[in-house]
Copies of this chain bind each other. A is one copy, B any other.
């Protein structure tokens, strides 16, 4: 079946009503399935995970972006996480029989509709990027370049949007694009020393010589003596979860601290789970990918 995964990130993690509106929108599509919703208060950000058939992708994504634009006011929004707009990013991931090229095409259709009809400036990223510098999200928006910085330079030099006006309204700007499947993974450490967190985040990330498919940042969790290593794993086959976990564990031990817990934001492919399961149990489970094998509750 031709399926696409959408993992939009919205710049509100505090108002349950907004998440509710977005969820209901997904549920109104018979061929879409809402897999997961996560709200993060400190980041003031929500992530929803949807799988839908290729035919509904454009309409569904557009409707979600519209709802976020109508309900999130970027003029007053604040939070830990870097952001450009109400719908901050809208990634499309090809699943099953869908190809990357199809996802790129769909992402452009969404971008054009959002730019033309909602008058939101749109930047295409990842595999849908129109210029190489926009491939990587961090080159578009990051901790030191967010909506505030974008306002004054949009429409100039590298900040000419792919679609929509060069004007930032209450909905901000939206980043859209097709990308490979990605695992969002956080590990929490029992330290309040962000410097240690930064060293560990640096040790594991590609940019600083770590694992080739890991991006990572360290965050201090406000009000708690805890540091979060926040990661994106863009190729779990090459950089398996257990290996990243064990490396962080070992690095942390070197500073006399340890892991409290870890968490996945959104979904984890069954194959990635089987990979780590097999590592720890020295076992042989194959990921057939065909089976939902749920034991009866009764």
Which residues of A approach B to under 8 Å, CB–CB? 33, 35, 51, 93-100, 181, 241-242, 245, 259-264, 267-271, 273-274, 276-277, 280-285, 287-296, 298
Whether A287 lies near B294 (C-beta < 8 A) is yes
Q: How far is the CB of A95 from chain B (nearest CB, A)?
A: 6
Copy tally for this chain in the complex stands at 2
Contacting A273 at CB < 8 Å: which of B269, B284, B285, B292? B285
Q: How far is the CB of A263 from chain B (nearest CB, A)?
A: 5
Whether A245 lies near B95 (C-beta < 8 A) is no
Whether A296 lies near B94 (C-beta < 8 A) is yes
Whether B283 lies near A96 (C-beta < 8 A) is no
Whether A262 lies near B291 (C-beta < 8 A) is no
Q: Which A-B residue pairs are the 9 nearest by beta carbons?
A: A289-B294, A94-B296, A99-B298, A280-B280, A262-B283, A269-B293, A261-B282, A263-B284, A273-B277
Whether B99 lies near A281 (C-beta < 8 A) is no
Contacting A294 at CB < 8 Å: which of B262, B268, B269, B293? B269
Closest to A270 in B: B293
Closest to A272 in B: B295
Q: How far is the CB of A248 from chain B (nearest CB, A)?
A: 10
* Most B-side CB within 10 Å, residue of A267, A269, A281: A281
